[in-house]
Amino acid sequence: MRIELATNQTTCLLFNRQPKDLDDLVRDLELSREEIQHSPLAFLNLLFKMHGSCSEEYREERDLEVCRIEVDTATSGLIRRRIAPTGIVDCESLMRELHAVNAKLLFLDAVMNWELLAGKFIQETYTILSELRAARGLPPFPAPPEQHLRDSLDYHANLSSFRRVQAQTLQKRVQTQLGVLYSLISQRDNKLSMSVAEVSKEIADATRRDSSSMKTIAALGLVFLPGTFIAALFGAGVMALPPPPVAEARAGTAHLVVSRSWWVFFAISAPLTAVTVVVWAAYLRWRSIAERRRAV
């Protein structure tokens, strides 16, 4: 940008990626032609104003995004909406959206910082331009338009400062929503863990019942096993008990006769059963003591 002090002739180079923005700028320049003729820096003030409008539009879009997420998480203090009966919140999708909004707000904060510096630069440039005109003996700018320009610069600079505060507030709201989502995810995981714990408890109870039944079966088998072993040993022909008298057997008058050595079966099986039960009980006690020592 180049300004001729004597004639206030201003030359500048404008470029933009969107031709439509340049068309809008040219239209606004035509509408502000009289104001620019009084002071060439009114052109910079117009650019500053247009940039502030674009920044405000961008900030409003981010504000709406944050409000929508706050409604989805039911944490908005301005808008209240009943959550679906299932209470299901797509935390992963909302988390991605919040990170995207946070990145846009970081960009907006950088833009706001540049905008504040630009406003300060325009105000300083206007002061320098007035001093240069006074140093060359040129008449000052007309008082009413000059005051209007300064007031406009101050107003838009204050708007930029306020807009930056709003952007920073949006960043805090995004961080709050991230904390809310982390809390929701944690609560959901806790509920899932509690469900798993309840199922595990039911499985443990069922296993304990099965274990008690197996212990009962094992105890019964342990009691009857020695006697069964002795009976099978005597019945295998290894040991023979005295047979009934021969005369009774020939006459066919033989009847059930209890052997005189019937006590041998009980004399052997009873002590053997007792020894087996004692050994089994001693083993269980030793294993219990060993498990307690390992736990310590």
pLDDT, residue 206, reads 81
b/e burial code for range 137-158 (CB count within 10 A of at least 16 → b): eeeebeeebbebbbebbeebbe
The CA distance from 181 to 75, in Å, is 10
Position 148 confidence tier, pLDDT thresholds 50, 70, 90: confident
The CA distance from 294 to 52, in Å, is 72
The CA distance from 209 to 194, in Å, is 22
Least confident of 4-13, 93-102, 122-131: 4-13
pLDDT, residue 77, reads 58
**Phi and psi angles of residue 181, each rounded to the nearest 5 degrees, phi first:** -65, -40
pLDDT, residue 255, reads 55
Contact 40, 8 (CB under 8 A): yes
Angle at 254 between CA 250 and CA 258, to 5 degrees: 135
- Write down the mean pLDDT value for the chain: 77
Share of the chain above pLDDT 70, in %: 75
Q: What is the pTM of this model?
A: 0.57
Query: Mean pLDDT across the stretch 156-182?
Result: 88
Contacts 24+ apart (CB under 8 A), 131-136: 132/5, 133/5, 136/5, 136/6
Contact 277, 224 (CB under 8 A): no
Is 171's pLDDT higher than 70? yes
Q: Which of 157, 80, 60 is nearest to 112 (CA)?
A: 157
pLDDT, residue 200, reads 87
For tokens 């059930």, the residue is: 256
The CA distance from 219 to 205, in Å, is 21
Contact 119, 156 (CB under 8 A): yes
pLDDT, residue 84, reads 43
**pLDDT greater at residue 251 or residue 182:** 182
Is 83's pLDDT higher than 70? no
Query: How does DSSP assign the chain, residue by residue?
Result: -EE-TTT--EE-----S-HHHHHHHHHHHHHTHHHHHH-TTHHHHHHHHHHHHHHHHHHHHHHHHHHHHHHHTT--SS---PPPTT----HHHHHHHHHHHHHHHHHHHHHHHHHHHHHHHHHHHHHHHHHHHHHTTPPPPPHHHHHHHHHHHHHHHHHHHHHHHHHHHHHHHHHHHHHHHHHHHHHHHHHHHHHHHHHHHHHHHHHHHHHHHHHHHHHHHHHHHHHHHHHHHHHTTSS-PPPPPHHHHHHT-------TTHHHHHHHHHHHHHHHHHHHHHHHHHHHHHHHHHH-
